[in-house]
């Protein structure tokens, strides 16, 4: 089982828009030093749709080499093309990734039977390597239905789901009915504490780039039964959770990383850099958290 605090890592780019592998090393080191037990590389926050195959290969290898045995590296290899997802998954595992994160196929809006076939095909190609599903219908246009998740949970190496469906009642039902060993991570920083209360294992986070120590402490406090302390830390983090999604992610995150001196670079088109107004709002929150 992977850790409780996993960061969906941003992909640093150079001023000219190229892949910044040195920046990737620095950012990975920062995240591990600030509470992350695992890193998702080439996920949504990592702008995976704009990364070429060779860039994904080089970034995964670089992060794996950087973190060594200090953290798990989970590669985002899901696309809207099953064959390409298999190809990416095999490549990622060859580079040393410890597991895979597979987002629901987007744009094509496959039926639930198609989702079962898609995820099962990739999981089988991954051998015994662990696979986490990623349910985020707000981006993909298709919810992984409850019955579909339960069916996929029977696949031996599909070990859990990053749940960003925005349905806490559905999450509670899934945790209650899923087989033992099937793990749920929050896919939305803002509801992590609520999901822990439902039985989620942890979070695959964006905010941990900036609030990693507080988030790790919040999770640890809740696990120890100190709900009051966990709630107090959550209240401190709410402004960060909010400001990182004032526009399309990871636009605010990359601007915030730049402000605190960590490698980021501008996002690649079709995403655009944060506006002056967005940067102003970010500065207020970063000052409030003592990060500036």
Q: Any idea which residues carry the catalytic annotation?
A: 134, 162
Q: Which residues contact 131 (CB under 8 A, 6 or more apart)?
A: 99, 100, 101, 102, 119, 122, 123, 155, 157, 158, 159
Identify which of 74, 82, 87, 86 has the alpha carbon closest to the alpha carbon of residue 7: 74
What is the DSSP pairing of strand 158-163 with strand 38-41? Answer: unpaired
Q: Where are the beta strands (DSSP E) in 192-288?
A: 202-205
Sign of CA dihedral 188, 74, 236, 219: positive
122-127 contacts at long range (C-beta below 8 A, 24 or more positions apart): 122/77, 122/78, 122/82, 122/85, 122/86, 122/89, 123/155, 123/157, 123/158, 124/155, 125/86, 125/89, 125/90, 126/89, 126/90, 126/93, 126/100, 126/157, 127/93, 127/157
Token pair belonging to 227:
């709900």
Phi, psi dihedral angles at 173 (to 5 degrees): -65, -40
The alpha carbon of 50 is separated from its chain's Cα centroid by a whole number of angstroms, namely 17
């Amino acid at each position: 089982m992977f850790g409780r605090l996993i960061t969906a890592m941003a992909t640093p780019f150079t001023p000219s828009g190229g892949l910044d592998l040195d920046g990737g090393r620095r950012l990975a080191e920062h995240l591990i030093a600030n509470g992350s037990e695992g890193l998702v590389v080439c996920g949504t926050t990592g702008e995976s749709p704009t990364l070429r195959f060779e860039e994904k290969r080089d970034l995964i290898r670089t992060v794996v080499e950087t973190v060594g045995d200090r953290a798990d590296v989970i590669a985002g290899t899901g696309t809207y093309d099953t064959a390409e997802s298999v190809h990416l998954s095999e490549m990622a595992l060859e580079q040393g990734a410890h597991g895979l994160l597979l987002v629901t196929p987007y744009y094509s809006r496959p039926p639930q039977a198609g989702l079962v076939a898609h995820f099962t095909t990739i999981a089988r190609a991954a051998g015994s390597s662990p696979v986490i599903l990623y349910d985020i219908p707000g981006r993909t246009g298709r919810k992984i239905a409850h019955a579909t998740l339960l069916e996929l949970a029977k696949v031996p190496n599909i070990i859990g789901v990053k749940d960003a469906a925005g349905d806490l009642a559905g999450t509670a039902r899934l945790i209650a009915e899923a087989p033992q060993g099937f793990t749920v991570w929050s896919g939305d920083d803002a509801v992590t504490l609520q999901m822990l209360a439902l039985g989620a294992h942890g979070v695959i986070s964006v905010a941990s780039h900036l609030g990693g120590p507080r988030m790790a402490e919040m999770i640890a406090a809740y696990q120890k039964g100190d709900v009051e302390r966990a709630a107090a830390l959550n209240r401190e983090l709410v402004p960060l959770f909010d400001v990182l999604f004032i526009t399309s992610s990871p636009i605010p995150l990359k601007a915030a990383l730049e402000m605190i001196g960590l490698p980021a670079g501008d996002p690649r088109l079709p995403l655009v850099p944060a506006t002056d107004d967005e940067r102003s709002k970010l500065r207020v929150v970063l000052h409030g958290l003592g990060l500036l």
